């Protein structure tokens, strides 16, 4: 194996306890793998070369654990972290498994459940911060509807906003060094989930009391499930300074929520995503929110985890190759060519500029005749990815 494809701490590769710990249950079948304890998972992640581990409160501490059991679990987990050097960059709350959340957590019509969701999240934030988390993810898996007959999307949005405002104040009040990352998903497990895309989340964040503390956690599978271009959403988040975290996996459009190994379905999209993250200098976790096929055994789960990271690193190398490829770069230069003749019209508005632009005579037929060599560029990209360049 080339040294280049060996994961290093600076790659910031992370996995959730729920990802490599996934036991292979699906709506039609029982688990196919034995559960691993959080301590075993930390050691597994160290063995495969990951940098960090993330968790939902109840991945680590069972929902009905006593305070004494909780403390013992945290001590054992912290010891595994110390023994392996694995860090905890992110934590989150499970607000979807327990039947109490059948109609949602922060957005349910039941005020008792909304209050319980806040209560549970404050304890989960304490737990995450205690173990070192700097990013706190909010994925509202149950925040939605199957029917709009009994739930107002306006009330739901208002309640979600109130909850996030409450929790940002909680973080400030406790002096925690923690920012929030909102993760959108269009559906599953609800028929429709509120704020279904990263773009919707970005709009919502601006309505909060502390927008500076809140960004997004886009996931490859989620925009892809909706048939959208994931990269474009990531770019919008980056442009707004809101790319606080990212969930990498893979997904076929139009299928169930697959959570496949990174790069398992659409290598070309994965390539453009890795190239973007590396080109702009994204410095956060590369979190693999994926799990092995249900047919995998433990050895294959390790192969899955190694595969996520190895594919990322191979694509990172391909991105560097793309940037250094003379033929590709000269095609890009041709596509982006600018003879400077429009310089007077660029930039901020002024009445003089507007008047000059309105007076300018454009050769519209010539504009329409100019071809752009995207076919050639795309084919070179494909050949680069196929390893023949
Ligand atoms: C999903 C989501 C989750 C969240 C996780 C962390 O589709 O189930 O992607 O895996 O990312 O709950 O918030
Ligand atoms: Mn997901
Ligand atoms: Mn996710």
Do residues 260 and 249 touch, judged by C-beta distance below 8 A? yes
- Tell me the mean pLDDT in the region 128-134: 98
Please give the distance, rounded to the nearest whole angstrom, from the Cα atom of residue 5 to the centre of ligand 1: 27
pLDDT at residue number 129: 98
Please give the distance, rounded to the nearest whole angstrom, from the Cα atom of residue 24 to the centre of ligand 1: 16
Token pair for 43: 């050691």
Q: How would residue 108 be classed by pLDDT, with cut points 50, 70 and 90?
A: very high
Do residues 306 and 11 touch, judged by C-beta distance below 8 A? no
Whole-number percent of the chain with pLDDT over 70: 99
Atom of ligand 1 nearest to the CA of 249: 9
Residue 372: CB partners within 8 Å, gap ≥ 6? 335
Residue 3 has pLDDT above 90, yes or no: no
Residue minimizing CA distance to atom 5 of ligand 1: 139
Residue 223 has pLDDT above 80, yes or no: yes
Q: How would residue 2 be classed by pLDDT, with cut points 50, 70 and 90?
A: low
Residue to mutate (ligand 1; options 137, 183, 248, 290; most atoms within 8 A of CB): 183
Residue 33 has pLDDT above 90, yes or no: yes
**DSSP per residue, 306-371:** HHHHHHHHHHHHHHHHHHH-HHHHHHHHHHT---STTGGG-SS--HHHHHHHHHPPP-HHHHHH--
- Closest among 289, 250, 295 to 17, alpha carbons compared: 289
For Cα atoms 37, 39, 40, give the angle at the middle one, nearest 5 degrees. 65
* Other beta carbons within 10 Å of 340: 7
Residue minimizing CA distance to atom 1 of ligand 1: 141
Residue to mutate (ligand 1; options 141, 197, 288; most atoms within 8 A of CB): 141
d(CA 105, CA 143): 6
Indicate if ligand 1 lies below 6 Å from the C-beta of 137.
yes
Atom of ligand 1 nearest to the CA of 185: 7
Chain segment 161-193, per-residue pLDDT in tens: 999 999 999 999 999 999 999 999 999 999 999
Q: Has this prediction a pTM greater than 0.85?
A: yes
Indicate if ligand 1 lies below 6 Å from the C-beta of 139.
yes
- C-alpha separations of 133 from 124, 183, 306 in Å: 11, 17, 23
Chain segment 306-326, per-residue pLDDT in tens: 999 999 999 999 999 999 999
- C-alpha separations of 186 from 143, 218, 255, 342 in Å: 11, 12, 13, 42
Residues serving a catalytic function are 56, 59
Residue to mutate (ligand 1; options 289, 290, 291; most atoms within 8 A of CB): 289
Indicate if ligand 1 lies below 6 Å from the C-beta of 247.
yes
Indicate if ligand 1 lies below 6 Å from the C-beta of 103.
no
Chain segment 66-95, per-residue pLDDT in tens: 999 999 999 999 999 999 999 999 999 999
Phi, psi (deg, nearest 5) at residue 193: -100, 140
The conformation of residue 145, written as its DSSP 8-state character, comes to E
Token pair for 308: 């996520």
CB-count burial class (<10 Å; 0-12, 13-18, 19+) for 109: middle
Indicate if ligand 1 lies below 6 Å from the C-beta of 289.
yes
For 225-251, b where at least 16 C-beta lie within 10 A, e where not — what string? bbebebbebbebbbeeebbbbbbbbbb
Please give the distance, rounded to the nearest whole angstrom, from the Cα atom of residue 16 to the centre of ligand 2: 12
Q: How would residue 147 be classed by pLDDT, with cut points 50, 70 and 90?
A: very high
- C-alpha separations of 301 from 16, 63, 331 in Å: 13, 26, 41
Chain segment 35-62, per-residue pLDDT in tens: 999 999 999 999 999 999 999 999 999 9
Looking at every residue in the chain, the average pLDDT score rounds to 98
**DSSP per residue, 181-205:** EEE--SSSSSSEESS-SHHHHHHHH
Chain segment 336-385, per-residue pLDDT in tens: 999 999 999 999 999 999 999 999 999 999 999 999 999 999 999 999 99
Whole-number percent of the chain with pLDDT over 90: 99
CB-count burial class (<10 Å; 0-12, 13-18, 19+) for 355: exposed
pLDDT at residue number 387: 97
Residue 1 has pLDDT above 80, yes or no: no
Chain segment 58-73, per-residue pLDDT in tens: 999 999 999 999 999 9
Chain segment 248-300, per-residue pLDDT in tens: 999 999 999 999 999 999 999 999 999 999 999 999 999 999 999 999 999 99
Please give the distance, rounded to the nearest whole angstrom, from the Cα atom of residue 150 to the centre of ligand 1: 26
The conformation of residue 261, written as its DSSP 8-state character, comes to P
Instruction: Tell me the three-class secondary structure of 263-290, residue by residue.
Output: CCCCHHHHHHHHHHHHHHCCCCCEEECC
Please give the distance, rounded to the nearest whole angstrom, from the Cα atom of residue 14 to the centre of ligand 1: 14
């Amino acid at each position: 194996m080339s040294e280049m494809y060996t994961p290093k701490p600076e790659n910031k590769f992370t996995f959730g306890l729920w990802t490599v710990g996934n036991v292979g249950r699906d709506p039609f079948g029982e688990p196919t793998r034995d559960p691993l304890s959080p301590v075993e998972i930390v050691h597994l992640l160290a063995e495969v070369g990951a940098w960090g581990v993330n968790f939902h409160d109840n991945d680590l501490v069972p929902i009905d654990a006593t305070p004494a059991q909780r403390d013992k679990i945290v001590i054992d987990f912290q010891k595994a972290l110390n023994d392996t050097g694995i860090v905890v960059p992110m934590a989150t709350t499970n607000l979807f498994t327990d039947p109490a959340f059948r109609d949602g957590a922060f957005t349910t019509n039941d005020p008792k459940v909304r209050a319980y969701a806040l209560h549970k999240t404050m304890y989960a934030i304490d737990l995450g911060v205690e173990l070192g988390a700097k990013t706190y993810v909010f994925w509202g898996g149950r925040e939605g509807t199957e029917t709009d007959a009994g739930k107002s999307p306006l009330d739901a949005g208002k309640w979600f906003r109130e909850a996030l405002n409450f929790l940002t104040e909680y973080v400030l009040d406790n002096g925690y060094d923690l920012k929030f990352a909102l993760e959108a998903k269009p559906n599953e497990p609800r028929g429709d989930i509120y704020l279904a895309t990263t773009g919707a989340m970005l709009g919502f964040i601006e309505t909060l009391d502390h927008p500076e503390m809140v960004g997004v956690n886009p996931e490859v599978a989620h925009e892809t499930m909706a048939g959208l271009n994931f990269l474009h959403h990531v770019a919008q988040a980056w442009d707004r300074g809101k790319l606080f975290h990212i969930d990498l996996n893979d997904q076929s459009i139009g299928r169930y929520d697959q959570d496949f190994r990174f790069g398992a379905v659409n290598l070309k999209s994965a390539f453009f995503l890795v190239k973007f993250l590396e080109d702009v200098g994204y410095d956060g976790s590369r979190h693999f929110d994926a799990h092995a096929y249900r047919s995998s055994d433990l050895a294959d789960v390790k192969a899955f985890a190694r595969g996520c990271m190895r594919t990322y690193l191979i694509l990172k190398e391909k991105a560097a190759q793309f940037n250094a490829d003379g033929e590709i770069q000269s095609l890009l230069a041709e596509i982006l060519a600018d003879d400077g003749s429009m310089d007077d019209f660029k930039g901020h508005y002024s009445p003089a500029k507007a008047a000059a632009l309105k007076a300018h005579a454009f050769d519209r037929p010539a504009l329409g005749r100019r071809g752009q060599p995207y076919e050639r560029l795309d084919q070179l990209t494909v050949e680069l990815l196929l390893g023949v360049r």
